[in-house]
Structure 1
């Protein structure tokens, strides 16, 4: 699939190089998504505030919970790009097993690889994706596992990664060469 919006390549204008440097950890080459986003510098500047919050320790969700929300949201959106980057960079760090990665991509929260905590989190992501709300049957199970602050972070995190998925999919950002793809895990 050909990208609809080509990522910028070096040499970058100074203001683009500066923005890319703020989006990536020191010493790492900018990923295709960010090189695409810098085609709109004011929008890319806004990524710092939101992106850094959702990838920071300020988020009230644990790193594992955060990754489950991101991975399931991007999988449900069919976003090979963002799903693959997060699986490649974080799945091992947060202790996701191969069965869990496969379940995130193509399974269900009721798969036997999930704890009750993980399953209700994934159910919330699915509910938000499918209906843009949480029904009265799921709500009590969520508040038994998460604080109100954590739930608010969960809701906005899922929405943020819907937006990232929409942009990556619509612009047809090519997956990174080192990242897996959703189809890699089809049975």
Structure 2
């Protein structure tokens, strides 16, 4: 399979009116991402996928949300989704170049993060590695985040692991304007 074509063919324009309207709402007039075009080819998958979206104004700040998403995508090796989120949200989330790099290459306790952000990253790492949090990890997270925020963190980790499965498993080509994983030092 070529790096430029996914394993399942994406929808091509013209899109059905309902799908076109959904793409416009999600993408705000920009061309739909390859991920959306592929998943929308299955009505059930698209319905379930869009029902699970967590990019609304939830209990986490934009910055916190993006740290969790970027770290989860990095841990799953999903350059596709990591790159889309970094290109789209990193500036608004006030992530520095050092922090962007650290989402892929840094330890959870990297000094570029606040104590609360370190707890977020440690939680994403633990959920990725073991699908659970130790009592100490949960206590550290609880020291910085309330119950609604902790649910959101876990939901984000799970949802973006699923997104990573889709992007990686379907061999989606990287979006042209998306960021790329930083090279190892």
TM bin (shorter chain) = over 0.9
The one of 6, 9, 15 aligned to 2:9: 6
* Corresponding residue for residue 111 of structure 1: 110
* Corresponding residue for residue 149 of structure 1: 148
**1:55 aligns to 2:55 (yes or no):** yes
* Corresponding residue for residue 161 of structure 2: 162
Residues 90-148 of structure 1: per-residue CA shift (max 9 Å, x gap): 11111111111111011111211111111011000000000000001212111110001
Residues 69-98 of structure 1: per-residue CA shift (max 9 Å, x gap): 100000000001100000000111111111
Please, what TM-score do these two structures have when normalized by structure 1? Answer: 0.91
Distance 1:30 1:72 in 2: 24
Q: Point out where structure 1 has 5 or more consecutive residues left out of the alignment.
A: none
Distance 1:157 1:10 in 2: 31
* Corresponding residue for residue 41 of structure 2: 39
Shift of 1:15: 4.1
**1:81 aligns to 2:80 (yes or no):** yes
Give the secondary structure class of the aligned counterpart of 1:185: coil
The one of 17, 23, 28 aligned to 2:26: 23
Distance 2:94 2:138 in 1: 27
Q: Is the 8 A contact 1:84 1:180 kept in 2?
A: yes
Distance 1:12 1:138 in 2: 46
Please, what TM-score do these two structures have when normalized by structure 2? Answer: 0.92
* Corresponding residue for residue 184 of structure 2: 186
Give the secondary structure class of the aligned counterpart of 2:11: coil
Distance 1:40 1:31 in 2: 15
Give the secondary structure class of the aligned counterpart of 1:10: coil
Moved over 4 A (4+): none
